[in-house]
Homo-oligomer: A and B are copies of this chain.
Amino acid sequence: MLERREMSKGEQTRQRIVAEAAAIFNQRGYAGCSMQDILDATGLEKGGLYRHFESKEELAAEAFRYALARAVKLRTESLEQMEGALEKLLYVVRRFAQGGSGLPGGCPLMNTAIDADDGNPVLRQLVQEGIQDWKARICAMIEEGVRRGELDRKVEPRRVANTMIGLLEGALMISRLEGDASALQDAQATLETMLRGLAVAG
């Protein structure tokens, strides 16, 4: 009984470290953030932190998984309630443009992609998978829409997915830099026009 309670407490501590580290890494970047910064933020003893994570790389990978899961959950929360492919695609755009990422510091995919594209192969692999999953979800929505006769057969799913993700992430970069929502609003308007243009007339 005692052992089970202790394990549970250890697991709670681990989860708290991951959540706090995710917020710090997402704001400062993995390269710009040391284990000491994590210690300072969590108030843990050095031994306590290293008992859960052997290295910064291990903690960073776990923190990224946590951050990404949180962002995906937030961005897809009511997606299944949308009827039809076009409404689902418009929801993805609206939700990204108007909602947050669930963590301070912006989108963990973009932040980690820029951080890891010239280094850290483990993080790079995780971000690649995150982008691939997102593209696959968008492509599946489009293919379903084409099958159901809702979207034009000539639509190229990969091109639409790259355009949606690229423009949303790029506009978020501009909006965060400017401290102003106009770039994200413009991206939303452009994507809505593009997506409505993919629908079969009628």
Contacts and interface: CB of A to CB of B under 8 A. Distances in A.
A119 B28 contact: yes
Contacts of A113: 173-174, 176-177
A162 B131 CA distance: 22
Interface of A: 27-33, 104-106, 110-111, 113-119, 124, 127-128, 131, 156, 158-159, 162-163, 165-171, 173-174, 176-178, 182-183, 186-187, 189-190, 194
Secondary structure call for the A interface? helix
Contacts of A106: 114, 117
Contact of A105 (B111, B118, B163, B168): B118
A189 B159 contact: yes
Nearest to A183: B162
Closest 4 A/B residue pairs (Cβ): A31-B32, A170-B170, A166-B170, A166-B171
A156 to B, nearest CB: 8
Contacts of A114: 29, 106, 110-111, 114-115, 173
A194 B190 contact: yes
A176 B117 contact: yes
B177 A118 contact: no
Given A30-B32, A131-B178, A162-B182, 4 more contacts: A27-B119, A29-B31, A166-B187, A169-B173
A166 B165 contact: no
A103 to B, nearest CB: 11
A174 to B, nearest CB: 6
24 contacts: A27-B118, A27-B119, A29-B31, A29-B32, A31-B33, A32-B119, A117-B176, A117-B177, A127-B177, A158-B186, A159-B190, A162-B174, A163-B171, A165-B170, A165-B174, A166-B167, A166-B170, A166-B173, A166-B174, A166-B183, A167-B167, A169-B170, A169-B174, A170-B173
Contacts of A167: 163, 166-167, 170
